[in-house]
Chain A
């Protein structure tokens, strides 16, 4: 392109463009038709772009979801491995316990308990909670010596059975006595009730019995699981030269209980 032609064309086009812009040439109806036609030609590309962007967004969202799921899977797999390990350890412990139980002649498999649920209907009016009266007596087949418990601790023992009620003496009552162990020790003692503290009898001087240890009622025949009586409150040298004097604070608070289980000792 020669110099003069180049400058002339360029400047003319620039001026023409500016003229078109400032005169708002695009507002003429026939120009609008042309631009509409060009836009129709471009429309498929715009649709393609929109579709591509939408698909990409979906893919990205799916990828992110997949990554999150993958991370979650890794966490869960680790947790599962840890739980499987714990399960193995637990099984080993149970096997060990079973083995120990066989060696020491103690069974951890208790017989199916025969029990009934009853309601406490009367408390000791003296305030010492030495007994409670429960619903059900001879009509329900309750017998003297039946054990009365909550889910985990001893409420008392059926002392007298009436026609439709029963009198239950609590671990605060001096007439209450049962076989007991301290913590996981296998040595058996006698628990005798008392208010406000019961006594653990025949605890030898060399026996390791500490304040705060839990005292459980056990069934000498091994048919019942152990139930908590209370905690040791005091350990001291008593008048007896061979035994310690051990005071136990019973766990039961009869006034806070409403429903109890009556476990039939002999069917």
Chain B
């Protein structure tokens, strides 16, 4: 229930605020994915269903159905695969795989969108959005995950 509220709030912040702040919208910091990765870190494989739901919801707000569904699921899936291989838990076992899958998701989204559309994009803003995601990951870890471990 608690997670459901956080999930909905993140979804709304993502589409109402973040995706309108960045152009093109898909390079915006993916707050929902950060929340999904946190869930995956705490609850394990069950988080993949939340990822499917989140991806599907995000897709329904855009004209590119399938993009978020595939990439959110892939990101959480890869994160879980990497995270299950690790023997202990600390900031880096969460931060490094999460940052990598977030970057991978951004790059894949970019290549997929470029394969269909042509648009201008600033690499500086692209990197900035990724750094914001890393800061969000660190924040979530220290404010929530560390206490729940």
Contact = CB atoms under 8 A, between A and B. Distances in A.
Interface of A: 1, 6, 9-11, 13-26, 31, 34-35, 38-39, 42, 45-46, 48-49
B22 interface: no
Most buried by A among B45, B66, B73: B66
Interface of A is mostly: helix
Between B61, B64, B65, the greatest number of chain A beta carbons within 10 A of the residue's beta carbon is seen for: B65
Contacts of B20: 46, 49
A252 to B, nearest CB: 76
Contacts of B132: none
Contacts of B17: 49
B15 A42 contact: yes
B112 A42 contact: no
Interface of B: 12, 15-17, 20, 45-46, 48, 52, 55, 57, 59-71, 73-74, 76-77, 80, 112, 116
Contacts of A11: 77
Contacts, number: 84
A14 B77 contact: yes
Contacts of B76: 10
Contacts of B70: 13-18, 20-21
B65 A10 contact: no
A46 B16 contact: yes
Nearest to B47: A1
Given A1-B48, A17-B71, A35 B66 contact: no
A174 to B, nearest CB: 90
